[in-house]
Amino acid sequence: MTLAVSALDDGGGATHGARHVAIIMDGNGRWAKKRHLPRAFGHKKGVEAVREVVRAARGMGLEAMTLYAFSSENWRRPEDEINDLMGLMRTFIRSDLAEFVANDVRLHIIGDYRVLAPDLVAMIDDALAKTAHNRGTTLAIALNYGAQQEIVFAARAAAVKGDITLEAIEAELYTADMPPLDLLIRTSGEERLSNFLLWQAAYAELWFSEVLWPDFTPAHLAQALEAFAARERRYGGR
Ligand code: FPP
């Protein structure tokens, strides 16, 4: 891959400076439609893209990656599609858990995943336990996640402790033990946050790609990191 190597880790550490990247993986349905295939094929191909991007993340020097797999609003989709997505989650854990363990990937879930099917909850809990001590890359998957609800839960927990400060609320977010979000990517040409990481995105850089998620490759991630490296972050200062 020749694209954007200057911002990447060549063994001596990443120069782009990003620690945590989040992705809204959009466009699976349109990818399938363009090929006259059922939407399920787009999601299936989307999982392959997830696998390649996660594999590449560590080599690119990223400490954490957060992926929007199922939002709290996605329950409004047809039952068949919801079942397809949950089935893919099961397959993904079954097929990739050993690789996470071997490659020092720590799995993390953001969102209220405990309302999912009991067998899936058990698989997730098992995967969380088996990767809990890994320190290489944190892979956070958003499942039944909504940022507004996350902020409500966090504010409530902070209030119970009698400390409604910025730091106290932040410490109650699902992402509390992750590095600050540096870069948020959305694929498929849509340019909105869709209730994803609203608090965490306060100072994140945003990068929108026309590429449909199933076509997104590590080279596109590298391109986003290259663009990130070129940006000047001021955090409200001058
Ligand atoms: C958006 O595409 C994508 C989703 C709602 C689901 C994302 C899920 C995956 C990539 C697979 C499961 C993930 C993991 C981590 C195993 P869309 O269906 O809204 O596409 P459209 O806007 O083109 O219709």
Distance 13 CA to ligand 1 centre (A): 32
Show the ligand 1 pocket: residues with CB < 6 angstroms.
25-30, 43, 46-47, 50, 67, 69, 74, 85, 88-89, 92, 141, 188, 213
Tokens of 71: 């939002």
pLDDT of residue 1: 37
Distance 165 CA to ligand 1 centre (A): 35
pLDDT category of residue 11 using cuts at 50, 70 and 90: very low
pLDDT digits (tens, 9 = 90+) for 18-59: 999 999 999 999 999 999 999 999 999 999 999 999 999 999
pLDDT of residue 13: 52
pLDDT of residue 51: 98
Distance 37 CA to ligand 1 centre (A): 15
Q: Is the pLDDT of residue 141 over 90?
A: yes
Q: Candidates 24, 26, 70: which one to mutate for ligand 1, based on the most atoms within 8 Å of Cβ?
A: 26
Residues designated as active site: 26, 74
pLDDT of residue 233: 78
Domains of the chain, each with CATH number or no CATH: 20-229 (3.40.1180.10)
Distance 46 CA to ligand 1 centre (A): 7
Distance 44 CA to ligand 1 centre (A): 9
Q: Candidates 28, 41, 89, 93: which one to mutate for ligand 1, based on the most atoms within 8 Å of Cβ?
A: 28
Tokens of 198: 């609203």
Separation of alpha carbons 141 and 134, rounded Å: 16
Sheet hosting strand 64-71, strand order edge to edge: 105-110, 137-145, 64-71, 20-24, 183-186, 205-208
pTM over the 0.85 mark? yes
pLDDT of residue 30: 98
pLDDT category of residue 172 using cuts at 50, 70 and 90: very high
Residue nearest atom 24 in ligand 1 by C-alpha distance: 29
Q: Which atom of ligand 1 is nearest to the CA of 46?
A: 10
The HSE-up count of residue 3 (CA atoms within 13 Å, CB side) is 13
Tokens of 179: 């590095």
The DSSP secondary structure of the chain, one letter per residue, reads: --TTGGGS-SSS--SS---EEEEE---HHHHHHHTT--HHHHHHHHHHHHHHHHHHHHHTT-SEEEEEEEETTGGGS-HHHHHHHHHHHHHHHHHHHHHHHHTTEEEEEES-GGGS-HHHHHHHHHHHHHHTT--SEEEEEEEEE-HHHHHHHHHHHHHHTT--SHHHHHTTSTTTTSPPP-EEEE-TT----TTSSTTGGGG-EEEE--S-GGG--HHHHHHHHHHHHHSPP-TT--
Q: Candidates 23, 24, 25: which one to mutate for ligand 1, based on the most atoms within 8 Å of Cβ?
A: 25
Instruction: Judge contact between 207 and 137, C-beta under 8 A.
Output: no
pLDDT of residue 235: 86
Which whole-number Å values give the CA distances from 116 to 112, 122, 156, 219, in the listed order?
8, 10, 23, 33
Q: CB atoms < 10 A from the CB of 208, how many?
A: 17
User: What integer best gives the mean pLDDT of the chain?
Assistant: 94
